Amino acid sequence: MIAGDALSTEAGRLWAEFGGTPDMGEAMHSVRKLLEFDIETAICYHGEACRGDIREQLERMVS
């Protein structure tokens, strides 16, 4: 998956930087949509590629 600015990585882990997001609910809804896909690798604009346990990382973000 190419996440663009939707997600970032740090030390090989996904994280969401929503500080500049005007609509937090919509941002979280967008992350929840990603749970519909079987993602093996996430490529983010900020950070490096993230591989493995992507679904678990996304689930933690939206919980």
Number of CB atoms found within 10 A of residue 56's CB: 10
Q: How far apart are CA 9 and CA 61, in angstroms?
A: 13
Separation CA 51–CA 21 (nearest Å) = 25
Confidence (pTM): 0.81
Query: pLDDT truncated to tens, each residue of the chain (63 aa)?
Result: 888 777 888 888 888 776 677 888 888 898 899 999 999 999 988 888 999 899 999 999 888
